[in-house]
Structure 1
Amino acid sequence: MKTFALIASAIALSAITACTVQQSNDPFAPTQAMAQASGKPIEDLGKGHSIFMRQCTQCHEKRIPNEIPSKEWRHIVPGMAWNAGLSKEEERLVTEYVLAASKVKPSAPVNN
């Protein structure tokens, strides 16, 4: 039983480490700084980031959201969300993500 617990702990630690490393190399990934600056839960920012990466990058090159001023995103997202067929909830999550991301500098350079 102890062996199983040790193996399960090692697997969980590996998964956490992998996610942490991946996130630190992704300049688009939500950060605690984004959550703090926006007052939005990092879980919601993560969902918005996922939608952003899946939907927005189908038609647009990857751009860090802070390259566009926050006030512009409020005009951009509704039209793009409609074009992409996003639900109102997905639109809300993407909006929260890009507004949060536009408030902070990326932690790593973008390599397209």
Structure 2
Amino acid sequence: MKTLIIPAAATLLACIAACTQPKNDDPFAPSKAMAASTGTPLEDLGKGHAIFMRQCTQCHERWIPNEIPTKEWHKIVPGMAWNAGLSEEEERLVTEYVIAASKVKKEAASQN
């Protein structure tokens, strides 16, 4: 009986580890290029991305930054942030992130 438990536990741990590994297939994940093109610190883009993934993707697809023109985000985010109950700081971070992410080439995003 012990020989069955150990392999089963090892398999379970391997599955958990695989599911919790960060995925690198997000074309809208913050990058140095995004930070450089917008003048926004990469750390802030990372925080905005995390808020976006946690809050915004509850109702919206994760590739929406690329679907809306960059100049429109300043009009859209305040209402959405209010609906989501975001703080002013969270709103600022999400705005900075979606503006940077909206500049990602659509073709590159659709390849993933």
TM-score by shorter chain over 0.5: yes
Alignment of 1:73-84 (within 5 A): 73-84=73-84
Q: CA deviation at 1:110?
A: 6.7
How many Å separate the matches in 1 of 2:62 and 2:111? 9
What is the Cα-based RMSD across aligned positions, in Å? 1.9
State the alpha-carbon separation in 1 of the partners of residues 104 and 75 from structure 2.
20
Deviation, 1:31, is 1.1
What is residue 33 of structure 1 aligned with on the other side?
Answer: 33
**Match of 1:88, as an amino acid?**
E
SS at match of 1:40: coil
Aligned equivalent of 2:7:
none
What SS does the aligned partner of 1:99 have? helix
Moved more, 45-54 or 64-73: 64-73
- Unaligned 5+ segments in structure 1 are 1-17
1:43 and 2:43 equivalent?
A: yes
Paired residues in the alignment total 91
Taking the TM superposition and a 5 Å limit, the aligned residue runs for 1:32-71 are 32-71=32-71
Larger Rg: 2
Distance 1:98 1:88, change over 3 A: same
Identity %: 74
Q: Which residue of 2 aligns with 1:85?
A: 85
Q: Per-residue CA shift, 1:38-78, capped at 9, x if unaligned?
A: 00011100000000010001112222412211111111100
1:101 partnered with 2:101: yes
Q: Which runs of 4+ in 1 moved over 4 A?
A: none
